[in-house]
Structure 1
């Protein structure tokens, strides 16, 4: 039996995903070799052997190429959080989920450092990343709210959003500190110290 072209497992969808993966791999190589700002969409298209118009059918901007899987990372983070023990504190659950996310990323340590450095060095990337992080908030808040207490309390969601926002901010601080140290500091330790500062 043949698969439907438009279905999730169809040939058309598999082909599209394969092209997207090739674009991302090629673009990331160019970004790391030449710098994000110095690399153009035309150069990416030329390297792959497709037209600029075809490239824009898959990604509207360079930022989308780098951050296109950010939504998927949010779902990985959500699943990791929901897998934590129900009686675990919000802070411990968020810490473990964030650690699981980092460990799930398909990058060698050196490449991850280069990619993270690129993210922090580009204002346009940082801005888009912050926009996409808002989606993470919406995914994580329900679990944290359940850990905080009765849903009937109208302030529970507010407290959950505050906790998630602080945890993500501490994660960003830890990542930035790690980048500035050229990967020499312990990212987990910096995260713990940042959380301790917030909670203190």
Structure 2
């Protein structure tokens, strides 16, 4: 990588972060549906066309990091010894990833917006399906299965259930104004699925 490549990459990341910050402020102030791409572009000092160089949709601003977080959860799961059972290993990996647990006030606003906006919910589910593809091979190894066995449903079911538990815990947490501990809600959701 040359100096120019590094500078271009840093400039792109800085612009991405700035547009995201401007957009999130607008979303949280006036609501996701009420905020237009044109408003975001104007507030960020860019053209509509430039906006689409960074984001495919408004939803990607809110959930863009979700795909990256899936890779971080996978990496955290890989770091958990294979002797740790799948459910415990998934829980450990989920809570190691920064961004899944953060500033409660901001997280609550974003979670409430996401759970109340159908397009954000749909996009979130898409991203979680990507997580499932990333996590299943490790869980297959934990179960003693062949990581490439496409007919082994057990690992898929465990990972899908763990992600659904995270989603259910997040929905309850947002609905109750963040009054309960998110990790405890997740633990209870997992416990109810496993019983």
Please say whether Structure 1 and Structure 2 have the same fold, judged by a TM-score greater than 0.5: yes
How many aligned residue pairs are there? Answer: 195
Alignment correspondent of 1:80: 76
Distance 2:147 2:178 in 1: 44
Distance 2:71 2:142 in 1: 19
Tell me: higher relative CO, structure 1 or 2? Use CA pairs within 8 A at least 6 residues apart: 2
CA distances 1:110-154 after superposition (whole Å, capped 9, x unpaired): 001101111101000000111111110111001100000142895
Range with bigger deviation, 181-190 or 118-127: 181-190
Structure 1: gaps spanning 5 or more residues: none
Distance 1:91 1:123 in 2: 29
Match of 2:144 among 139, 144, 149: 149
TM-score, normalised with respect to structure 2: 0.93
Structure 2: gaps spanning 5 or more residues: none
Equivalences for 1:79-158 in 2 at 5 Å?
A: 79-101=75-97, 103-105=98-100, 107-151=102-146, 154=149, 157-158=152-153
Given that 2:94 and 2:100 are in contact with CA atoms closer than 8 Å, whether structure 1 keeps it comes out as no
Please, what is the CA RMSD of the aligned residues? 2.0
TM-score, normalised with respect to structure 1: 0.90
| CA 1:152–1:39: 2 relative to 1, 3 Å | closer
Given that 2:138 and 2:147 are in contact with CA atoms closer than 8 Å, whether structure 1 keeps it comes out as no
